[in-house]
Amino acid sequence: MRNKMLVTILGFIKPLFTKGASVVWENRKYLKLFFITKYGSYRNKEIRFSISGLYKIQIPNTNNYLLVLNRRIQGQLQPVGGVYKRYGDDSLFNKWLYKPDNLKNGLDVDEKSNFDLRFIVNGKNVMDVINWYESGKERETDPKREFIEELIDTNILDSKIFGNIHHKHIRRFSKNLSWSEFFNCHEILIYDIFEFIPNEDQKKALTELSLQKNDLSKGYAIVTCDDIEQSRLLQNGHQISRIGQHTKLLINKIF
């Protein structure tokens, strides 16, 4: 048993060391997660995953940001982007005995959210899921699809101006084994944050958009850094929308 455990541990940490010391340091939080899910008290608990890519879309020369209304949580603004989709067949996920999101412990699944990376596995399979995610195989690796669905298809932005976009990955944030009162389970949240890099025409269009008065019926809002920190958008002293806690990741805060 001891030899089997040693082989398993080496199998987990060897890829980290081959990538260099900085990667080992960045992944140090996974070492604790490894032990408590593979061999500890979380081994047989159901763990919910939600894995997303978000866009930081900043209005040029300001500390203001473009957010959109959540399509599932009424009255909540959040960053453009959302849960990644997986590709390929179900064989690997079936090996992990995964369960799709459901109404009891999640947001359920419909035609639009099918194959979203929101699902439940037993704790003993948590590190296998994370290693698969880190590999980038058979899944989306950026939120461009959501950019198109949330900003172009809705006519918030002009497809002629924003048909070709560029971004850079600026950080990854994970929240491991936190208890969700909303979903009534332990969950692991992983977010990739991408900074949108506008060209000159796109800068002009974003600036013009920011000059319009916020109207939530249009599906978006321009918010300030203070709005994000307070997790709410006010108008004339009254709250007109919540702002999702994960939006704080855009301004280098955690939640």
Residue pLDDT, tens place only, 221-255: 999 999 999 999 999 889 999 999 999 999 999 88
Long-range contacts of 57-64 (CB under 8 A, 24+ apart): 57/196, 57/206, 58/195, 58/196, 59/206, 59/207, 59/209, 59/210, 59/222, 60/198, 60/203, 60/206, 60/207, 61/207, 62/210, 63/224, 63/225, 64/210, 64/222, 64/223, 64/224, 64/225
Residue pLDDT, tens place only, 147-166: 999 999 999 999 999 999 99
Angle (CA) 233-213-62 rounded to 5° is 70
Biggest distance spanned by C-alpha atoms of the chain: 66
Side-chain half-sphere CA neighbours of 151 within 13 A: 31
Res. 199: pLDDT tops 60: yes
Average pLDDT value over all residues in the chain: 87
- What per-residue confidence (pLDDT) applies to 222? 98
- What per-residue confidence (pLDDT) applies to 30? 75
Res. 28: pLDDT tops 90: no
Res. 180: pLDDT tops 60: yes
pLDDT category at 24 given cuts 50, 70, 90 is very low
Residue pLDDT, tens place only, 2-14: 555 555 555 555 5
Arithmetic mean of pLDDT, 131-153:
95
Q: Tell me which amino acid residue 210 is.
A: S
Residue ranges per structural domain of the chain: 1-40, 46-251
Q: Alpha-carbon Rg of the chain, whole angstroms?
A: 20
Residue 195 backbone dihedrals phi, psi, to 5 degrees? -90, 125
- What per-residue confidence (pLDDT) applies to 183? 79
